[in-house]
Chains A and B, each alone.
Chain A
């Protein structure tokens, strides 16, 4: 089956910056849990930055503080960001399930200590998934994040865990 998910590991995009503990409740509010992605994506982060969902453009980069995606297991959190065109999320740290879900849906993430302090809203960010390098060309600052483990990058390369399942479905015992 044709898989159109880009496997390019380098991104360059406009930064939207958020603080610590951005929860799945703001990434995917519970009240819209049963709505389709077209509705859900309109409410992404609205309680912390009402302009985000309307103004974010394809290829933009989300930069955040610690514990990004904390809270529920709802995969709609990374899915909503992906649907809005976010190219990748770079954060000081991620909540475990969010990170797992991001990989599962094919949204690239990079853990990068200090990243929250070196970007402002509207800056440009350059991110290299393979090396973990995160660069702010406007200020010349470069940080080295932790590249994802090979096991997780393989799932991203495949375009997510469902693509993996389609490529190698379980056989009979």
Chain B
């Protein structure tokens, strides 16, 4: 029996010939990510435990992205503590406020390599599976342990395989695919497991789409959300100015706990309704519901491709009166590219408010929160009660195209139904 991608990644990291699902291993960490909610606390604790340095200052990346720009004196002070720790520990990869969201920056700046094991103090660390890396979220105590020793324990996960075939229809995106899967299988369907996305449909997906899907693998409980590294990965890595990569995927005859077939051409735009990620309906079933705020951004859908998808739907038209349309490019590079391509101007002219690259509204921290009774449709990844401000607010999740269509009309709208009349 061959090894799945997850088994291959953990076998390599544990210096074992092979490992099997269910086995416990102690694995070497290739990269550790910390962001500003937790970094200062982790470094303080490391100090308290009596550890003077991190296992390898070149294998830690620190990103200030959640409280950006600092919404309070306390947050600014936390950022100062992080900068001091980073300098003290000699950590070479540090991204300061405004550079972007960690899960955009790490792939974009060439930190993620196929087949490696990456841990982060953030659940969406699964994002790196888009490049064939085993990215898993961990807590702060585990991070302290990992930084001190360079190692961490893992249970080798079973793998749920997805065979994707066919092509997506117009105005249907990979966000709709992952929302569909969450709705079809449930928010805990891949609990403790790895998800592996393959087949001809997955091979055709561009890197931006893969990042969206792997990002949300955790919303189905997954430890990893993996795509094989292929020509798309190789090209992406080169385009970012780094070295290309060899193919990396599952072995032939790998052992899967379950295999699901997905016909991409069957899918329509999807919406996750409050307050669970798996409460998913096709957009036509919720179209017409009035919204107060539309959010385009986050590590799920804040890339240049997402901004273009939204602008294409808007097509030079203005958003509906009274709608707050918040756009947060996922990184400074995305913002620069959006400026150069003109898409930023077109979104601003449509009525968008541009936010700094960061995580603020998505995690309910600051900058675009909801009041009681308000309704938001966004491209982010979670619609839990209370996530974005008031616990009496409602969060709907959808693709950039659906969010743009909703901003245009003032209610949840099907992007296929708002085509401009160019006649």
Contact = CB atoms under 8 A, between A and B. Distances in A.
B141 A67 contact: no
Interface residues of B, number: 50
B371 interface: no
Interface string A23-57: 10110011101100000000000111000000000
Interface stretch (A8-16, A99-107, A117-125, A133-141): A99-107
B74 interface: yes
B159 interface: no
B404 to A, nearest CB: 26
B164 interface: no
Given A70-B188, A101-B141, A165-B149, A33 B365 contact: yes
Interface string B209-244: 000000000100111000000000000000000000
Given A67-B221, A96-B191, A151-B24, A25 B385 contact: yes
B276 A170 contact: no
Which bracket fits the contact residues of A? 35 or more
A147 interface: no
Contacts of A101: 138-139, 141-142
Given A72-B363, A169-B49, A25 B141 contact: no
A58 interface: no
Nearest to B151: A170
B82 to A, nearest CB: 12
B136 to A, nearest CB: 8
A105 B386 contact: no
A151 B365 CA distance: 35
A73 interface: yes
A26 B388 CA distance: 11
Contact of A74 (B139, B187, B276): B139
A158 B153 CA distance: 15
Interface of B is mostly: loop
Contacts of A93: 188, 191
Given A23-B384, A47-B386, A48-B385, A96 B149 contact: no
B24 to A, nearest CB: 5
A169 B148 contact: yes
Contact of B141 (A29, A30, A71, A160): A160
A30 B364 CA distance: 6
Contact of A97 (B75, B137, B365): B137
A11 B155 CA distance: 27
Contacts of B188: 21, 66-67, 70, 93, 95
B74 A73 contact: no
A160 B45 CA distance: 13
Contact of A71 (B51, B78, B384): B384
Interface in B136-181: 137-142, 144-145, 148-150, 153, 155
Interface in B43-92: 45, 49-51, 55, 66-67, 74-75, 78
Contacts of B103: none
A128 to B, nearest CB: 22
B49 A73 contact: no
A122 B76 CA distance: 43
A130 interface: no
B94 interface: no
B365 A31 contact: yes
A31 B361 CA distance: 10
B116 interface: no
Contacts of B137: 72-73, 97
B121 interface: yes
B104 interface: no
A102 to B, nearest CB: 9
B382 A100 contact: no
B385 A31 contact: no
A161 interface: yes
Name the residue in B145, B148, B276 with the highest tally of chain A Cβ atoms < 10 Å from its Cβ. Answer: B145
Given A165-B145, A170-B55, 8 more contacts: A21-B276, A73-B137, A75-B38, A95-B188, A96-B222, A160-B141, A161-B142, A165-B49
Interface of A: 21, 23, 25-26, 29-31, 33-34, 46-48, 66-67, 70-75, 93-97, 100-101, 104-105, 149, 151, 160-162, 164-166, 169-170
Nearest 8 A/B pairs, CB to CB: A75-B139, A47-B391, A101-B139, A30-B364, A73-B137, A67-B188, A104-B141, A23-B384
5 contacts: A25-B382, A71-B123, A73-B121, A75-B140, A169-B51
